[in-house]
Amino acid sequence: MKRVGIIDYGIGNLLSVRRAFEHFGAEASLIRTPAELAAADRLVLPGVGAFADGMRGLAERRLVEPIRDYATRERPFLGICLGMQMMFDGSEEFGDHEGLGLIPGRVVAIPPRGIDRKLHRIPHIGWNALVLPPAQTGWRGSLLEDVGFGGFVYFVHSFTAVPEREDDRLADCHYGGLVLSAMARRGTLCGAQFHPEKSGETGLRIIRRFLES
């Protein structure tokens, strides 16, 4: 049976994430201590809400350094929504806050206007299509291998990660003509700005691929 640890740091509804992995018969357990985290062979960092609150929750549970250590061991890791954002060096959300530093880059506010200079809704909420960034030739060997170009997934976010290296961008989406990072990847570490657990069949394909990685 596939085993996956879901980090519980007091932010977000973990039930839907857990159920998505259990859909494929995985043994999904909540991780609350450094010892539990160190024993995991697949790790998921979910989350909703503010960046600073998320990092504070990890710090209060003494999970920041264990996550960083886990990331050096080339084991599967998936950050979801806020969890993806915290994988980066830092965020400008309500100040300047340090992240986990797993992927070089920063989290910045989604511009309030599209390329036509018209105001658009913030946060970016709803279904949007995944597109291939210029630095990628395809999704073979990634969590998106079973997802066709243009597959729709569900987003809820006001801030967006900007990877320092273009080849760390696995997938983008377009919003008001702007290009936003939808997925990032570095080695065995992967982040999804959208919610796979709320993204129907496309999201389940991503979760299945993570379990098979």
Residue with tokens 């998936």: 78
Residue from 81, 124, 157, 190 carrying the catalytic annotation: 81
Read off the tokens for 127: 């279904």
Q: Is residue 81 classed exposed, middle or buried when 0-12, 13-18 and 19+ CB atoms within 10 A define those classes?
A: buried
* 120 counts as catalytic: no
Residue with tokens 């105001």: 119
CA distance 105 to 119: 26
First to last CA, the chain: 14
For 142, residues 6+ apart whose C-beta sits below 8 A from its C-beta are 170, 185, 190, 209
* 173 counts as catalytic: no
Q: Which amino acid is it at 191?
A: G
Residue from 166, 197, 201, 212 carrying the catalytic annotation: 197
Q: Which amino acid is it at 150?
A: G
* 97 counts as catalytic: no
Residue from 22, 98, 195, 201 carrying the catalytic annotation: 195
CA distance 182 to 103: 14
Return the active site residues: 81, 195, 197
